[in-house]
A and B are shown apart, each in its own frame.
Chain A
């Protein structure tokens, strides 16, 4: 029994020790501890093989390489691709050097970003927004002209707005790994590199819509949803249907009684759990098509929760129930009749209206 179990290795991230399987990356180990110590990831995407290492947002300091060789690593390392060693000591938010480098990465990602969040569909669920809010500086030092691109239609459902792209390569990996033929990739190099399809070809396959879900910014957007809504005005609901091509497990985004968008379900790290097909995503937008499971769990910090408290939702009554269950008459010799609120004259309530 013991033989089959791989020897767990101990890693310390920001002073918190965790035991993980060998071969786990630093980022995954830190995620196991919790979101407080998990480094941000702009390009790394766990469901996609080979992703990571590009955005440098997850740089961490390795203060001790392993128990055997406790020398620190000379440079900051990308935590999403660096496997852990037994006895490794990692400094994430506790290292000023890391925070400084991360501040630099935010700045670099933003210098050519249009900062058009007020009109961007991704605003509110944008990884770059969260990352910049958490680690960025309030002001830019960039005075030069920003690089811009024209918008491109990639087929009937997807629009590419390359100006917003941070070249994380997630969509390239997605197309490579979940569809047969990838027709888009990165052209040119340096800061004029762009995601593009081969000679303006349309992306046409059953799973093409997933590139919208994996995009950390608003570069790839759903044309059936563009400019229809702000994400914090909509209410996510988990639902499923019997789909012949995919699992059919999705999140429906309601505005009022109308389904305005369908996306794949995401985990707490904003990563897609199961990729869904284009029919589910773009063509089945009626409540009657779906079996509703219940509200989607959204992180408390997300702006999407702003829509959770609606007039028609029943407020939880657990406060009064707990109070009732714990009620004990106070054994007190004093006259309690003066304290009881019920004994106050009823006019007082009437007046307060």
Chain B
């Protein structure tokens, strides 16, 4: 069994209530931090722990915290990004639903470390029931004296606000989230200035993912070094993986970073293997935006070594033979999955969710979606494949926010690794458009 940090007490009945959570050692980290530590020493511990942002980009959280500008007389804000809407990723939802107090404890510690007196949890609008759970938990924490004025006599005040989003994927991008939180249209901002300098209401702001913030109680209790001892290299600690697709046991799993991909898919502890009678065809390892990899490349690196579930190993080989850990949305496909259809589906999502602010993403996502729709429905021509590659290339890197990249990567990688399948769809439109039809040509299945 791997070490569990976030989901340690997930099976305890009633863990979503304050009393049970407190009995399991909850809020001891808040006591420790507020009574015995200074904000800077908390930041120092988080830095030592080397937690990397769990929202997808993997930027070290301690470093992000230390970039926070601290001008005199200006409030600072902490915003928790709970707008998880990436297809294939559902870990934050799971965490907030089952252990809301873990997030609240993390928010108190993080806000204390950053010197924020008002912090926000921005939850996607579709999760109304999770918002109610969080609000109930906040009320409980307030009643217990962990929120509000002068928390436990330390002189530190904190107000925690849960803000429902409007249900737009783009509001998961940190600057769009801040715009939305300010009550404006959720358009990403131009950077610089970064939120650490001018964020919410033009004040210094840190935006962190739910999972990142939830690691802080454990780090405060056990020390940054203990956290850094888990995992491999710069990928420290544990990571929640939302496993879905053609596996025996879909669900949210907490793994120590460094487990091999093969073990993760086939071991009974985690996914429990591909469903009976089928073989692994492809994996999207980190949520819909990361490049898709065929079976042989996801299990092994280009040099033949086993691929591990770490930031470095998954991105080994660049985009030619690698992918990204992203937000940990692990989508497994067996040979009955059609990559063309899947790519079209992702593309449709990004077309729908593009905010329409900058031209490459606004027009390019729609274009790719239409071309993929045509190929999928048997009206494609061979030059469409090159067109898709070219359009994806022209979107990538030329947009304000990473949504353009996120829209371009799945298309580029699907064509890079499954070009035969696209060609088959175009050359055999009649077979390809039969219900359930899928390419059965030469490919590496494991």
Contact = CB atoms under 8 A, between A and B. Distances in A.
Partners in one complex: yes
Contacts of A188: 356
A104 B391 CA distance: 8
A24 to B, nearest CB: 15
B364 A186 contact: no
Pick from A76, A78, A142, A189 the residue with the most CB of B within 10 Å.
A189
A111 B366 CA distance: 10
Interface string B375-408: 0000000000001000100110111100000000
Contacts of B364: 108
B370 A144 contact: yes
Interface in A143-195: 144, 147, 166-167, 169, 185-186, 188-193
Contacts of A193: 355-356, 362
Contact of B362 (A81, A141, A185, A191): A191
A348 to B, nearest CB: 64
Given A78-B190, A101-B394, A142-B367, A108 B400 contact: no
A112 B56 CA distance: 32
A191 B190 contact: no
B359 A105 contact: yes
Nearest to A172: B185
A81 B188 CA distance: 14
B360 A108 contact: yes
Given A81-B190, A191-B356, A108 B365 contact: no
A162 to B, nearest CB: 12
A193 B361 CA distance: 12
A189 B387 contact: no
Contacts of B397: 75-76
A54 B363 contact: no
B398 A104 contact: yes
A39 interface: no
Nearest to A188: B356
Interface stretch (B20-28, B227-235, B320-328, B346-354): B346-354
B356 A104 contact: no
B162 interface: no
Given A52-B190, A104-B360, A191 B387 contact: no
Contact of A191 (B366, B371, B374): B366
B363 A76 contact: no
Contact of B354 (A53, A57, A75, A189): A189
Nearest to B170: A189
Given A78-B190, A190-B352, A55 B185 contact: no
Contacts of A142: 367
Given A54-B400, A105-B398, A108-B364, A190 B353 contact: yes
A81 B357 CA distance: 15
B358 interface: yes
A112 B351 CA distance: 14
A108 B356 CA distance: 12
Given A101-B398, A111-B363, A144-B370, A167 B357 contact: yes
Contact of B356 (A52, A107, A109, A190): A190
Nearest to B357: A54
B400 A53 contact: yes
B356 A144 contact: no
Contacts of A192: 356
A59 interface: yes
Interface in A25-84: 52-57, 59, 75-76, 78, 81
B363 A185 contact: no
A186 B356 contact: yes
A192 B395 CA distance: 18
Contacts of B123: none
A216 B400 CA distance: 20
**Chain B interface bracket (under 10, 10 to 19, 20 to 34, 35 or more):** 20 to 34
A185 B187 CA distance: 13
Contacts of A191: 351, 354, 356, 362-363, 365-366
Interface string A230-257: 0000000000000000000000000000
B131 interface: no
Contacts of B360: 56, 104-105, 108
A222 to B, nearest CB: 25
Contact of A167 (B351, B356, B398): B356
B358 A55 contact: yes
A111 B185 CA distance: 25
Nearest to A185: B185
Contacts of B362: 108, 167, 190-191, 193
A121 B398 CA distance: 31
Contacts of A185: 185
Given A112-B363, A189-B355, A104 B400 contact: no
Nearest to A191: B366
B347 to A, nearest CB: 12
B43 interface: no
A171 to B, nearest CB: 15
B168 interface: yes
Contacts of B170: 189
A190 B355 contact: yes
A54 B351 contact: no
Interface string A247-270: 000000000000000000000000
B363 A109 contact: yes
A294 to B, nearest CB: 39
B366 A53 contact: no
B394 A104 contact: yes
Contacts of B185: 185-186
Contacts of A78: 190, 400
B400 A107 contact: no
A165 to B, nearest CB: 11
Nearest to A144: B370
A56 B398 contact: yes
Interface string B165-183: 0001010000000000000
A85 to B, nearest CB: 12
A111 B190 contact: no
Given A100-B394, A191-B356, 4 more contacts: A104-B360, A107-B394, A108-B360, A189-B353
Please give me the 4 A-B residue pairs with the lowest Cβ-Cβ distance, nearest first.
A104-B394, A193-B356, A108-B363, A53-B190
13 contacts: A55-B359, A59-B398, A76-B398, A144-B370, A144-B371, A166-B359, A167-B356, A186-B356, A189-B354, A191-B362, A191-B366, A193-B355, A193-B362
Interface of A: 52-57, 59, 75-76, 78, 81, 100-101, 104-105, 107-109, 111-112, 141-142, 144, 147, 166-167, 169, 185-186, 188-193
